[in-house]
Structure formats: structure tokens, C-alpha cells
Amino acid sequence: MRKKTIFANHKHAVKCALLVNVLKLKNILLNIYYFAFGKEARIDSHNSDGTVRVAAGDPSLSVSPVKGLEAIPDRILCENSLMDISTYKFSEDVPVFTVDGSSMSPEGLSNGDKLLCRKVDALETIGEGKFVVIDVDREYYKFKNKELKFDYKLRRTLYRVPLGMSIDELIGSLKKVTNSIFLEENQKNLMTKYNEAIKFYGTQKELMLSVTYRKGELRYSFHPVDLITYIAVYVLKHNGEEWRAKKLE
């Protein structure tokens, strides 16, 4: 009986020692990972074809990618003439983006489309109606308690908001730009989004008002101007047989 008790105690001690060693090993591996990548998990933004994913919609939501499309050739038909896009494909500074999601479909950019972009110049004033790729603000989405699935999001610019502009002034200015703001529902949506942006960013951050769509319905969103990284110049669409290019800018 005594031998059984000693054996049981020894077995328990071995289990405890193993558990401690496993926990120590886990802690060591975590520290190595944090040292290499930082404490925030990295998002894998690249597709197998070398393009970079950009969210057309909420960057905290997963999207089923379009599969089975042929690789992008170096020369693509654009408005009845062949265009060489190799400088875009092999650029070390500006990636080719793949649109993930259908929130920009009403604007002509669909899930699976490719975007050829240019970098935003530091002194550039970004105007209305540009398709822009925006760096996702991780701190803002932490503030909203959302976990990100994308590093970039796609929007269409509508209005650059001057510092300190009130919501009434903004609505008044938008009435000169778009008819959509005359709808009371859109004004309420705009007010909610603007108040949310001001609450987080304050009044000293210049914001860009942009549009997207949720289930086909117009939605407004605000982004710091300095997070707009790229402007789409061409969209590449696959028509079931081949890729075709369309100029956006």
C-alpha cells in the first residue's frame, strides 16, 4: 500500500514537472515571437499570386476570395489598345491590390478585381471621386473592439473635411457636392460617423469623408488624410476569358 502511495505521489510530481516545463517552453516561444514580430499578431495580406488584399467593406470581416482566375499577363487590353503593365506588376514600392469584398460594386469595383495604383504624394491634395487605398488604423479598431482581418481598406473619396468644421457646416457643404445628403437617413448616418471620428481623433486631425456600401445601401466613413497611401489608377477585371483594364484616374 505504501509503495502504491509513493508511486502515485511520484507520478503526480512528474506530471507537475512536465506541466511546468511545458509552460516555461511556451513562455520562451512567445517571447521569441514577440521579439521578432511584436505583441500584436501580424496579418497576412498577400495572396498566392503576389497581390495584396484590400478590404472593400469592413476590414474586421472575413471575405471569401475569388479563386481560379488566370495570372495577370504583362500586357492587357485597355480601351482597344494593349497596355504594358509590367512596371506595376514588378514595382518594389507599390503593390498590385486585389479587391476583397463587394462593398464597392455599386461604384464598379467588384470582388476579385485587381487595382494598379500610385503612391500619394506628400504634398498632394486628394480630390473628390478618387478610389483610394487606406492604411487601416489599428488603434481605431481597438477603440471599436474589432479584430482586424486586413491591413488596407478601399474607399471612394467624397469630401475633404476642413479642421473644426461642425456637422451642420459639413451637411451644408455636401449639399453642393452630392444629392444623397438630402435624405434624412443619410444625414443621421453621417452625424453618427462624424461624431464617432471626432470622439477618437479630436478636432486637430484632417479627415477625408468617403463612401462605401453595405448590402447596396450607401454608407459614409471618415479617415485621417495621412492614412491614405495609394490612389487606384487602373482596375483589372476578368470577363471569364481574359483580363481587361479600365482607367480610373
For 86-137, the DSSP string reads HHHHT-SSSPPEEEESSTTGGGT--TT-EEEEEEPPTT----TT-EEEEE--
Q: Is residue 107 located within the same domain as residue 150? A: yes
Assigned domain for 47 exists: no
The cell for 106 is 455599386
Assigned domain for 60 exists: yes
Q: Tell me what pLDDT residue 44 has.
A: 61
Assigned domain for 115 exists: yes
Assigned domain for 2 exists: yes
Q: Is residue 26 located within the same domain as residue 145? A: no
Q: Is residue 15 located within the same domain as residue 68? A: no
Domain total of the chain: 2
Assigned domain for 112 exists: yes
For 193, residues 6+ apart whose C-beta sits below 8 A from its C-beta are 220, 221, 222
Radius of gyration of the chain from its Cα atoms, rounded to whole angstroms: 25
Q: Is residue 84 located within the same domain as residue 140? A: yes
Q: Is residue 67 located within the same domain as residue 5? A: no
Q: Is residue 21 located within the same domain as residue 134? A: no
Q: Is residue 151 located within the same domain as residue 242? A: yes
* Average pLDDT over all residues of the chain: 85
Q: Is residue 20 located within the same domain as residue 56? A: no
Q: Is residue 93 located within the same domain as residue 197? A: yes
Q: Is residue 158 located within the same domain as residue 224? A: yes
Dihedral sign computed on CA atoms, order 52, 56, 59, 61? negative
Q: Which domain holds residue 14?
A: 1-39
List the chain residues with pLDDT less than 70.
1-44
Assigned domain for 45 exists: no
Q: Is residue 10 located within the same domain as residue 103? A: no
Q: Tell me what pLDDT residue 50 has.
A: 84
